[in-house]
Amino acid sequence: MRLTKYGHACVRVEHEGETIVLDPGAFTEPEALTGATAVLITHEHFDHFDGQRLRAALDADPALRVWTTDAVAAQLTGLGGRVTVVGHGDRFDIGAVAVEVHGDWHAEIHPEIPLVRNSGFLLGGTVFHPGDALTVPERQVDTLLLPLHAPWSRLAHLVDYLREVKPRQAYQVHDVLLSEAGRGVTSSLLGERGPGTGVPLTLLAPGESVELTA
Q: pLDDT grade, residue 191 (50/70/90)?
A: confident
Question: Is position 212 within any domain?
Answer: no
> CATH number, domain at 135?
3.60.15.10
What total of structural domains would you count in the chain? 1
Provide the percentage of residues in the chain whose pLDDT is more than 70.
100
Residue 192 has pLDDT above 80, yes or no: no
Q: Mean pLDDT over all residues of the chain? A: 96
**Residue 159, pLDDT score:** 96
Question: Is position 94 within any domain?
Answer: yes
Length of the chain: 214
Tell me the pLDDT tens digit for each residue of 48-72.
999 999 999 999 999 999 999 999 9
Give the Å distances, CA to CA, from 16 to 33, 41, 153, 207, 210.
18, 21, 35, 20, 16
**Residue 214, pLDDT score:** 64
Question: Is position 23 within any domain?
Answer: yes
Domain membership of residue 16 as a residue range? 2-204
Question: Is position 209 within any domain?
Answer: no
**Residue 213, pLDDT score:** 83
Q: pLDDT grade, residue 31 (50/70/90)?
A: very high
Question: Is position 210 within any domain?
Answer: no
Q: pLDDT grade, residue 18 (50/70/90)?
A: very high
Tell me the pLDDT tens digit for each residue of 97-145.
999 999 999 999 999 999 999 999 999 999 999 999 999 999 999 999 9
Question: Is position 27 within any domain?
Answer: yes
Question: Is position 69 within any domain?
Answer: yes
Average pLDDT over residues 178-188: 94
